[in-house]
A and B are shown apart, each in its own frame.
Chain A
Amino acid sequence: MPHRCLQVRLRGEVHRLIAPRDQKYQSNFVEFRNDKIVYRRYAGLFFCVCVDSNDNELAYLEAIHLFVEVLDAFFQNVCELDLVFSFYKVYAILDEVFLAGEIEETSKQVVLDRLDYLEKLE
């Protein structure tokens, strides 16, 4: 279930949990309350999803990567500033890849075509 940390507090908690973790010697999964956080780090950016404890963590790692690949293709070599200045577009992309806490579309091409079309509508 992709989790938008709507609350600042939650965001801080997750950050404190994940930031100090070792990239090399630790897995990409952390237990968090009754759920599990699956995260992946790209340079200085962490992508975190909170999933049920019986969900397939490995599949969610792939899902995060799919999302990042879409971002990368959309922004052409995405960097942190793209995400900050175009945060509303990031939300739109997220809505095309995940919906209702589930993965919605697995074809990068389908997502990118859709996004291009939406851009033209504006």
Chain B
Amino acid sequence: MSGHYNLKALIKAIRSCKTLADERSVIQKESAAIRTSFKEEDSFARYNNIAKLLYIHMLGYPAHFGQIECLKLVASPRFADKRLGYLGIMLLLDENQEVLTLVTNSLKNDMNHSNMYAVGLALCTFANISSEEMSRDLANEIEKLLGSSNTYIRKKAALCALRVIRRVPDLMDHFVGKAKSLLQDRNHGVLLAGVTLITEMCALDERVCDEFRKATGLLVKHLKNLVTTGYSAEHDVLGITDPFLQTKILRLLRLLGKGDATASETMNDILAQVATNTDSTKNVGNSILYETVLSVLEIEADSGLRVMAINILGKFLTNRDNNIRYVALNTLNKVVSMDTNAVQRHRNTILDCLRDGDISIRRRALELCYALVNEGNVRVMIRELLSFLEVADNEFKLGMTTQICLAAERFAPNKRWQIDTVLRVLKVAGNYVREEILAAFIRLTCHTPELQFYTAQRLYAALSSDLSQESLTLAAIWIIGEFGDVLLQGGTIDDGEEVKQVTDTDIIDLLELVLSSPYANTLTRQFVLVALSKLSVRLAELSTPNQSTNQDRIAEILANFSSNLELEIQQRAVEFGTLYGMRDIKMGVLERMPPPEIRATMMGTVSERKPVGSTRTDKDTVVDLIGDDSAPAAINGNGTSSGPSTQDLLADIFGTGAADMSPSPSGSAPGASAGQPPRSAAADIMSLFDSSPAPVPPTSAASLPPANAQATSGSLFDLVTPSSSAPSSAAPAAPAAQPPKPQLQSYSAYDKNGLKITLTPKVSPTQPGVIQILARFASTAGEAISGVNFQVAVPKTQQLQMQAMSSSDIAAGGVETQQMRIHAPAGAAIRLRMRITYSRGGQNVTDQQDFSGFPADLTGSR
């Protein structure tokens, strides 16, 4: 069997194959023929065979059996054979030690060859292989050839030396002396190779770098020659003399000038000259400008030069060539941490790059934008980022939502703005939000009582119009559940926008809709169950009109889930259902959460380069959401006035109580602590208890201790234990040990003409500074009163919101109510000026009276 006549015939045969199988069979036959031919030791056929074999190798088929034949070719006196032999060695060589030794010997012979082309071939082959052992063996030959009188050899030897020191840095000393003389070389090729070699040496060894600093002046002179000499045909590229040599010299200057003021001073002028004189209309010129910028930024350049460099990058950003913009953004990203202000000047151009057609440019522009956000420009930058978020590639969204929210947290001008920003993020990219961000948002809302109505209202509206954004859904459900009462009580939104009053029925409708939507998942279902349970309490507190219907609906929904296939949900539904029946303890268990500890949202570095993935577990999230309930001790240092004291009290109760929840009535912790004098840690909240005289009949919440004692210990454990073992639903269960609610004290504010008005203030421990006041209008004289209009004014530092009166007509002996809410700074006294108009027995009465009878520490003391 014989192979194809020659390389050309083989290539043609292979190219004419129609299928891969054909090609394979042609190559197998040819390979077999070549093997047979090798055995015949025909030195004339060898050249042809190796040529064919290399082609086969290029196509990806095995060809290593030709290694030894290549060595035989190298030994041939014919130059063509030698050349092909070395090519074969470069392509086919592997780690075979025996062959490597043979190759080293051939290279050694040829490096001492009388023909400079043979020497050139050997150097070339070495440069492409240069194993460690080979580097050690041939270092002396290469050192000798560095001093050759032939430029062709010198230049190749310089690059071989480069390979040697990369492989074996110890051998550097061999070449330092010869390398110096290369810098004096008049030949561009040798100079280029020499500069490359020295750059590598300087990068590898600081000591050598010091030595070459002396040559800074010489390099500057070389560069100056290149820049100032006119046209030289030999090295011209589009009007620029040897741009490759220029960039190499600039790169070496960078290493020499770094951290050395003298060397930097020496090169200052030439860098400025290159930066100003280089033609920036073509890629060639820009490659030099780019290298110059990099050097200026790394050496100890004066500030004028630095600004010039950053301005060059700014100009790059407006270039139409994608490559130039890419390079500019890449470099600005490196510079931004060193000199933010200089980069800020190009902010608008960078923002424009967010809309670039090239995704890698968008990615880099985005990175840069993150770095540029600060207090001064946060509104503008976040606005731009938010509008980009709407059109951004999905792969950017997770990083973007994180970065936007973190920036908002760091630089927010006010809370309202921060909440608006996160709301927008949730609406636009609610499926790309990290859990930590969601948790931070909830934390923020808990700590911003003045905006809870606003937040809840906005979330309600957003969720009503879009159920598809998971994080929006979760945030909305949680906030609506927790602050359902705030939402129902209504209020105003500062910007005078018309607010649609939400009713309890609306809320439950919405939650049901969430459950039935195609986007519902386990997590949202869990959130909804918790929210519904909380809502049942919030509704009861408010005595809303459709109270009983809605309570029944909640009970029904919970019951529906008690046979759910998911264990977690089923268990939760059953527990909530049971809790639902226990009216007495339900109130305390589902009391408002204490605001979680405020802390900066911690996040590993989020970079567009590295895709971010959540590494946190579910458990952490819930801990985040509910604050550090599980570790109350950590909260002691918290500054909020009554939140932590609740916690402490809770810890007191829970710490001892959890241990001995045994049915020993006397040891029952809640009962004990409520009866004992307040401890200092719990002073704030206990002062509320104290201020209320004891004889008031116990409210439902105050009956918690007896309920505790009555309830069999088993049922209480049902509530408490699972919550600690299954944290994903800990949110509702954690407050199980809320303290008894303060008993409410009424104050008489007006009592004339058979109309008695009493005011009952209520301060939530979690919302210091927000006072709910229930005004009760009673007709005491056995006569109906009609057309009652009750107006109230508060001092300017406080804010008042009033609901409508339950009815403006009071039947004889009847009672009507009106809710109002005051936001007051901590420690402020509540003073009200009331104007009351009503008619009684056909007689119109208008009265005005001031009231300041609430206890002074009502708004908390600070």
Contacts and interface: CB of A to CB of B under 8 A. Distances in A.
Interface of A: 6, 8, 22, 24-31, 56-59, 61-63, 66, 84-85, 87-88, 91-92, 95, 99-100, 102-107, 109-110, 114, 117-118, 121-122
Contact of B243 (A29, A59, A84, A109): A59
Contacts of A122: 79-80, 83
Contacts of A61: 283, 287, 323
Q: Is the interface of B mostly helix, strand, loop or mixed?
A: helix
A121 B54 CA distance: 21
Interface stretch (B153-161, B394-402, B799-807): B153-161
B60 interface: yes
Contact of A26 (B11, B55, B284, B358): B358
B244 A63 contact: yes
Given A95-B124, A99-B159, 9 more contacts: A29-B360, A56-B291, A84-B11, A85-B7, A95-B128, A100-B127, A104-B156, A104-B193, A121-B80
B156 A99 contact: yes
B329 to A, nearest CB: 10
A62 B291 CA distance: 13
B60 A99 contact: no
B361 interface: yes
Contact of A100 (B163, B234, B291, B360): B163
Contact of B235 (A24, A26, A107): A107
Contacts of A114: 152
A95 B91 CA distance: 13
B196 interface: yes
Interface string B170-207: 00000000000000000011001100100000000000
B326 interface: yes
Nearest to B290: A58
B156 A28 contact: no
A27 B188 contact: no
Contact of A106 (B8, B80, B192, B359): B192
A8 B811 CA distance: 94
Interface in B184-237: 188-189, 192-193, 196, 234-235, 237
Contacts of A25: 322, 357-358
Nearest to B232: A107
A99 B127 contact: yes
A57 B291 contact: no
B332 to A, nearest CB: 15
A59 B358 contact: no
B287 A106 contact: no
A118 B15 CA distance: 29
Contacts of A6: 91
B603 interface: no
Contacts of B529: none
Contacts of B160: 99-100
Given A27-B326, A57-B327, A121-B79, A106 B188 contact: yes
Interface string B288-327: 0011001000000000000000000000000000111111
Nearest to B125: A95
A24 B357 CA distance: 9
Contacts of B193: 102, 104
- Most B C-beta atoms less than 10 A away, residue of A25, A31, A104: A104
Given A99-B156, A100-B160, A100-B163, A62 B51 contact: no
A28 B360 CA distance: 11
A58 B324 contact: yes
A58 B11 contact: no
A15 B226 CA distance: 38
B192 A104 contact: yes
A118 B162 contact: no
7 contacts: A27-B360, A28-B323, A59-B291, A84-B11, A88-B84, A106-B244, A121-B80
Contacts of A63: 244
Contacts of B128: 95, 99-100
B83 A107 contact: no
B477 interface: no
A45 B549 CA distance: 75
A107 B812 CA distance: 110
- Most A C-beta atoms less than 10 A away, residue of B11, B124, B251: B124
Contacts of B79: 121-122
A6 B90 CA distance: 10
B286 interface: yes
A-B residue pairs, 5 tightest by C-beta: A58-B287, A25-B357, A8-B60, A122-B80, A27-B326
A106 B191 CA distance: 11
Nearest to B155: A104
A9 B256 CA distance: 40
B759 to A, nearest CB: 68
B27 to A, nearest CB: 14
A25 B799 CA distance: 56
Contacts of A87: 54-55, 58
B358 A107 contact: no
Given A62-B243, A104-B189, A106-B244, A57 B159 contact: no
Contact of B189 (A31, A100, A110): A110
A67 B320 CA distance: 25
B331 to A, nearest CB: 10
B234 A107 contact: yes
B196 A29 contact: no
